[in-house]
Amino acid sequence: MESINEFVTTYHIPLLVISWLFSFGIGFIIVHIWKKGMNTVRSQTHACDYVIPGSLNFHERKDRFLYSTVRKTRRTQSSSTASTARRR
C-alpha cells in the first residue's frame, strides 16, 4: 500500500500536466480537422450566381438620408472674384 501512495504523491503533478497537454492536443487536432472541412468558400469576382433575373426592380429614383448637416459659411469676395463672377 505504501508503494501506491508514494507513486501517487511522486507522479501526481507530472501526470496531471501530461494528461492536460494530451487532451489539449487531441482537442486541437479535432477542431483543426473540423475547421478544414468548413473551408468551402471560394473567392468570386461577381455575384451573378446569386442574382435571380428580374428580382431587383427600381420603381422610383429617390435618395433618403437619415441625417443631414447644413453648414452656412459666409464667403468673402474680393474685387477680382466679384468681377469675374459678373462676366459669366
Higher pLDDT, 67 or 43: 67
Mean pLDDT within 5-11: 70
Mean pLDDT within 53-82: 80
Q: Say if 22 falls within a structural domain.
A: yes
Residue type present at position 84: T
Q: Say if 28 falls within a structural domain.
A: yes
pLDDT tens-digit series, residues 13-44: 788 889 999 999 999 999 999 998 887 777 77
- Banded pLDDT at 56 (limits 50, 70, 90): confident
Higher pLDDT, 9 or 74: 74
Q: Say if 15 falls within a structural domain.
A: yes
Which positions ≥6 away from 76 have C-beta within 8 Å? Answer: none
Per-residue pLDDT at 83 = 53
Residue 30 structural domain: 1-37
Residue type present at position 17: V
CA distance 59 to 62: 10
Q: Say if 31 falls within a structural domain.
A: yes
